[in-house]
Amino acid sequence: MKSDELRRVAATIRQDIIRQVYNAGSGHPGGSLSAADIMTALYFDVMNIDPDNPGKKERDKFVLSKGHAAPVLYACLARRGFFAPEELVTLRKLGSRLQGHPSMTALSGVEMSTGSLGQGFSAAVGMAIAGKLDEDPGRVYALLGDGELNEGLVWEAAMAAAHYKLDNLCAVVDHNGLQIDGRNEDVMNVMPIAEKFAVFGWNVLEIDGHDMDQILDAFELAAQCKGMPSVIVAETVKGKGVSFMENIAGWHGKAPNEEQARSAMKELGGEL
């Protein structure tokens, strides 16, 4: 898809995020909105996937390591054709396949159950190692939150990925600067992110995570890199697209009320 088409899809994904979290009465809108452009690029342009055959061999695999951002993953899966978009309003409801964190046993298209931060990234490294052993041409993608980099096992996995020269692995850090308790530098400073990954032996790309052309170019450059894993450090805005949510840590894990949800949808060009 062209960049302008992807931007329109991303707008729909953001509307779906608000609808989901509002109907659930709980969830994580801030980090879902910040990742919407990256996720749209992956699911609608970059990845080799087939909604009619989710388990096909040689497919690309995606792991949402920051599993609390499940609304953006569900929106992408639904709009890509893995299930009907009407099901999105069942997020976090009893008996729903759309659990608060992604479950690979509950929903087709979810490659790994995630939620405990850092573990999804570690699983993605394992998938990439398996891909190498199986001579599988498929690539593995993982999305991490910047606050997630506080977890020690992230860096153990990063070290292993470089050691095994996993050029079939591409990580993306959603660097919106905020986590549940506030600014990263106040909670646990994660900077400098790019330099840390570089020292660990990764190919590092730094981009504006809301510029679709930069996103697409970065994924292409990552695919061309041989002999080492790639990480895209994407500068983003928490709550992107909804003015009263942007850069506010309090919207990390809080649902809007009806008035707020209607206002958000109006800004995003949709209706509640």
Q: How confident is the model at residue 1 (pLDDT cuts 50, 70, 90)?
A: confident
Is the pTM value of this prediction over 0.85?
A: yes
CATH number assigned to the domain comprising residue 211: 3.40.50.970
Residue 101 lies in a domain: yes
Residue 91 lies in a domain: yes
Is the per-residue pLDDT at 39 higher than 90?
Answer: yes
Q: Which residues contact 198 (CB under 8 A, 6 or more apart)?
A: 204
Residue 176 lies in a domain: yes
Residue 245 lies in a domain: yes
Residue 246 lies in a domain: yes
Residue 272 lies in a domain: no
pLDDT at 272: 86
In tens, the pLDDT along 18-32 reads: 999 999 999 999 999
In tens, the pLDDT along 173-199 reads: 999 999 999 999 999 999 999 999 999
Expressed as residue numbers, the domain containing 246 is: 3-267
Residue 37 lies in a domain: yes
Residue 168 lies in a domain: yes
Indicate the number of domains in the chain. 1
Range 72-89 average pLDDT: 98
